[in-house]
Amino acid sequence: MTDLFAARAQMALSLGFHIVFAEIGIAMPVLMVLAEWRWIKTGDDVYRQLARRWAKGTAVLFAVGAVSGTVLSFELGLLWPTFMRFAGPIIGIPFSLEGFAFFTEAIFLGVYLYGWDKISRRAHWVAGVIVAASGAASAVFVVMVNAWMNTPTGITMDGARVMAVDPIAGMFNPSTVQQAIHMLIAAYAATGFAVAGIHAAILLKAPQSALHLRALTLALIIGVPAAIMQPVSGDLSARVVARWQPVKLAALEGDFTTMRGAPLRIGGWPSEAESRTRYALEIPRGLSLLAFHDPNAEVKGLSDYARDLWPPVAPVHIAFQLMVALGTAMALIGVWVVVATIRKRPVAESRLLLRAIALATPFGFIATEAGWTVTEVGRQPWVVNGLVRTADAVTPMPGLVYPMTVFTLLYIGLAAVVVVVMKSIVGETT
Amino acid sequence: VIGLPEIVAVLMLVALNAYALTGGADFGGGVWDLGASGERKEAQRAHIAHSLAPIWEANHVWLIVMVVMLFTGFPAGFSTIAIVLHIPLAAMLIGIVLRGSAFIFRSYGSTTAGARRRWGVIFAAGSIVTPLFLGMVVGALASGAVGEASLRNADPSASFVQVYVAPWVGAFPIVIGLFALALFAFLAAVYLAYNAPEAALAEDFRRRALAAAAVVFVLAVRSFFLSFGHAPRVASAMMHGWFAIPLQIGTGVAAVTAILALRRRRYGVARAAAGAQVSGILWGWALAQYPFIVPPGLSIRAAAAPARTLELLVIGLAAGAAVLIPSLRYLLRVFASSPT
């Protein structure tokens, strides 16, 4: 294993691990606040129990998110010192703002989790709202950094030398808005569906549980609108990619040849050696229509670019297909929930729908991992698109396979414990 | 000359200082979890857990703020440190992960006494490893070995050990690591005596604080003498710099005050004095190392990001502080008034 590969694997693992906890940290506070608000409004004590139970799970998951986020802030330098030396003056500004947003989140989460009996109901609820708002703000600031890596702006180069930086321009680069929206919706959809799925699974066994019925409803209130909106956000994001990162678009579509009226490929297996994608279901002119809203628009294929500028095509294409498939499934379940509600048929009374929701428990998180793979692997060979190659950014320290192995084992252990602890929290009373 | 780079460096140090006084003390709490003994063993552990639970995550963010300021304001310094000190920094991160997750798993996930004990041991181990390596990183930096190793890195004949191990494995960094650990344990014991819910528990931590103060004294003397051989530039500035005499006297007075206040059970005074002592040591190191961020070659000025970035960073920090300071005061107010 080369050092570069080990560094990439460690970074991918650390981000892939953290992103799940980050999404939960963004969306769980909204659920807690919603449940507590229902309690304040209705006086129904079940809502208070629910808010406290969710808070307990959030405490565990937030702590794991906080420590894994700390690891990342150091790993940026431990693994990619050259990248940080180059990019620090720009991405440091959104990271600083994120630092403060995260600080606010941690402070008020402490107040929320441990202050139930110490402050007034209203103050407690407001603390929860601050946690939810600062969690969303953190996510936006972090995504600004990733958006900048995809479409860097605010940097003036003279050859390899940086002449001037404008961090504000860097923060508001062409990818920022769509990526931030896509990430936030992903957090609400993934967490909402995961929580709904867990409670749906319990309701299949104990259909009368008041706590789980209320939990399911609130989780769907967060998850369903997000899941239905996500395909729209995905379309907008893909159009930004089409405009600014044509190589990434070509890779995620498995599109090797430049043509007008390019087809949309569903499924399929791209072969870089043969420069073609086999076994795909092709919808004529679909890609041109989706990416440029013109059935005859020209879409660049990978063959237009030098081989050393191609990202690994198969993983990017397959990850993209997986993300779209899972996102579509969630949106369809969301529509099903909406239709059932309009027809005044309670979700919990349809065992089929409950089963579908339970089945979709991990869909959002898997889709997130796949989407993250698309944006990160799809940007290779660059760490900063068009400016810094990943291979040039890696630390000169040899033997990177060792830290990679240690952190892999650490995260596997941590993940196993988190599962056990969450099971015990969920299973406390059913 | 005081310009933007110096201002950012000072603000970074303020963040590190805040981390030492808050997050540092939380690590010290882990040390005393391991060192719980006597008939009030479980009460001591409960008091530590109760004190840490609402605040440790917020306290921990100071470290993240510090690191972000380092890579934003001084990207060349960050990359040099991250390359040469990869191993101790990674070890510190493992400590951070184990400490935080074990603490939360112990509170929320363990139903049996055995499970609680196992998580307690990992919590304590993480609490010891992290300050130890943090101190070693500081010691390696102050000694000038990091700067020298990064120059040697360009030389292909330099061995792995010379560049990536030797700078932080040596008598001086190790003593500084132990010194950091002892200081954090001392701070924690003083805080825990201060907010103990009952007199007997306060007494337990008072004895621990006095014992830790003795260890701090021994390690302070040891590191002072070692510094002449291993960190001569810093040592000489500590002796002859413009700040040397007032800072040494101030830190010394704080240390003596802390001990006297502990003896008389004036815990409020002891807490303030212990904080001043730790801060004095930190600022002494920083002033002695000035104008270098990575001695002997890389100065604050040379490592600094472009002026536009520094300006925005200062503005961002000011805006952040405007939100943060009232929030932190609120957090402390909610939980300080609760000797349950």
Interface confidence, given as ipTM, is 0.93
Q: Which positions in chain A touch B322 (Cβ < 8 Å)?
A: none
Best CA proximity match to B310, nearest among A171, A77, A96, A82: A96
Q: Which positions in chain A touch B55 (Cβ < 8 Å)?
A: 110
C-alpha distances (whole Å) from B75 to each of A26, A82, A84, B82, B296 are 29, 9, 6, 10, 17
For residue B340, name the pLDDT band (cuts at 50, 70, 90). Answer: very low
CB contact under 8 A, A396 and B153: yes
* Per-residue pLDDT reduced to its tens digit, A252-287: 999 999 999 999 999 999 999 999 999 999 999 999
Nearest beta carbon to residue B69 from set A96, A399, A424: A96
Predicted pLDDT of residue B80: 95
Question: What would the mean pLDDT of A331-354 be, rounded to a whole number?
Answer: 95
Q: What is the dihedral of CA B22, B182, A406, A402, to 10 degrees?
A: 120
Exposed / middle / buried, residue A143 (Cβ in 10 Å: 0-12, 13-18, 19+)? buried
CB contact under 8 A, A115 and B335: yes
Question: What would the mean pLDDT of A129-138 be, rounded to a whole number?
Answer: 97
Question: What would the mean pLDDT of A195-214 be, rounded to a whole number?
Answer: 94
Asked if A424 is an interface residue toward chain B (Cβ–Cβ < 8 A), one would say yes
CA of B218 vs chain A CAs: smallest distance (Å)? 32
Asked if A102 is an interface residue toward chain B (Cβ–Cβ < 8 A), one would say yes
Longest dimension (CA), chain A: 68
CA of B90 vs chain A CAs: smallest distance (Å)? 8
Residue of B nearest to A111 (CA): B331
Nearest beta carbon to residue B68 from set A96, A107, A398: A96
pLDDT at A18 over 50: yes
Nearest beta carbon to residue B164 from set A68, A108, A397: A397
pLDDT at A126 over 80: yes
User: Which residue, among B51, B66, B308, B328, would best test binding to A if mutated, counting the most A CBs under 10 Å from its CB?
Assistant: B308
Asked if B303 is an interface residue toward chain A (Cβ–Cβ < 8 A), one would say no
C-alpha distances (whole Å) from B92 to each of A75, A288, A316, B27, B86 are 12, 50, 34, 12, 10
For residue B242, name the pLDDT band (cuts at 50, 70, 90). Answer: confident
Question: What would the mean pLDDT of A234-255 be, rounded to a whole number?
Answer: 96
For residue A430, name the pLDDT band (cuts at 50, 70, 90). Answer: very low
* Per-residue pLDDT reduced to its tens digit, A369-408: 999 999 999 999 999 999 999 999 999 999 999 999 999 9
pLDDT at A429 over 90: no
CB contact under 8 A, B75 and A414: no
Rounded CA-CA distance A313/A250 in Å is 9
Predicted pLDDT of residue B338: 45
Give me the percent of chain B exceeding a pLDDT of 70.
99
* Per-residue pLDDT reduced to its tens digit, A74-101: 999 999 999 999 999 999 999 999 999 9
CA of A144 vs chain B CAs: smallest distance (Å)? 15
Predicted pLDDT of residue A90: 96
Mean per-residue pLDDT over chain B, rounded: 93
Mean per-residue pLDDT over chain A, rounded: 95
For residue A359, name the pLDDT band (cuts at 50, 70, 90). Answer: very high
CA of A374 vs chain B CAs: smallest distance (Å)? 27
